Amino acid sequence: MDEVDKKILFYLLKDGRMPQRQIAKSLGISAQTLNYRMSKMIDDQIIEDFKVHVSPKIYGKVEGFAAFVSDKEVKKNFTSRLRCLEKITLYGVEGNNEEEVNRLIDEFSAELGDPVMRYIPPADNYSGNSKDIDMVIIEQLRKMPRAKISEIAKAINEPVIRVKRRYNYLAKNHLLGVFAKIDLSKTDVVLFSIFSEKQELLQPILSEISIFQIKDEKSGVFVCFAENMVSARNIINTVREREKDSDVMVIYDYEFLR
């Protein structure tokens, strides 16, 4: 796997719906070369699948995150799970309100011990702006994660402009995303998560390498990409110099169930 393959993975992790033409142009390679490289990584099962991630806010839920150091893992009641080195697992959970989210995290704590990190972003009132078409778009994307907007519009019998407007709204507000599921054991790229209670200090450092962010005015969780462990270590050292109390977790497997 060379530098070009790694950059392809970065783009597909950041936005699994990025058009191949756009990726090829960004990398300065032909569309045919990109198609060959992507097809080979799919055949080699480096790229396992494309998954849809939906924010719990769409369903009127509150989201929370907690990281535990334990040999054990919980098997249910989470929406996302990031397995990290040093026996750390970062869970995403959802509930009808903040109290329910904290109760779920406390239930995890009874089995896994006290969390080393707990974070519940402020709830946004998406439900008041929700559209029936959003749910239809989401269900169609689950069937065809990389389908063109025109293909989605045709499948659900809606005007292209309406589907495009709603999809762009969901994506821009981080309510909906598509990402590649990568077998990290077959690459030397590194995914790592950083939690900070001073996210504004880290945003300038991490914005270009983040593939996923959950943040408010103060705190935030950044899931970041590095092409190798040396690069990851350099980035993490820079983060530590800027904000020494940030929590860093190197990810070796990840899943989103929502």
| Tens of pLDDT, residues 61-81 | 999 999 999 999 998 999 999
| Tens of pLDDT, residues 165-224 | 999 999 988 889 999 999 999 999 999 999 999 999 999 999 999 998 887 778 888 999
Residue 128, pLDDT > 70, answer: no
**What pTM was estimated for this model as a whole?**
0.89
| pLDDT > 90: percent of the chain | 79
| Tens of pLDDT, residues 16-59 | 999 999 999 999 999 999 999 999 999 999 999 999 999 888 88
Strand partners, 182: 47
**Span 135-164, average pLDDT:** 95
pLDDT at position 132: 87
* Strand residue runs (E) in the chain: 47-54, 62-69, 80-84, 88-95, 117-119, 176-182, 190-196, 210-215, 220-226, 247-256
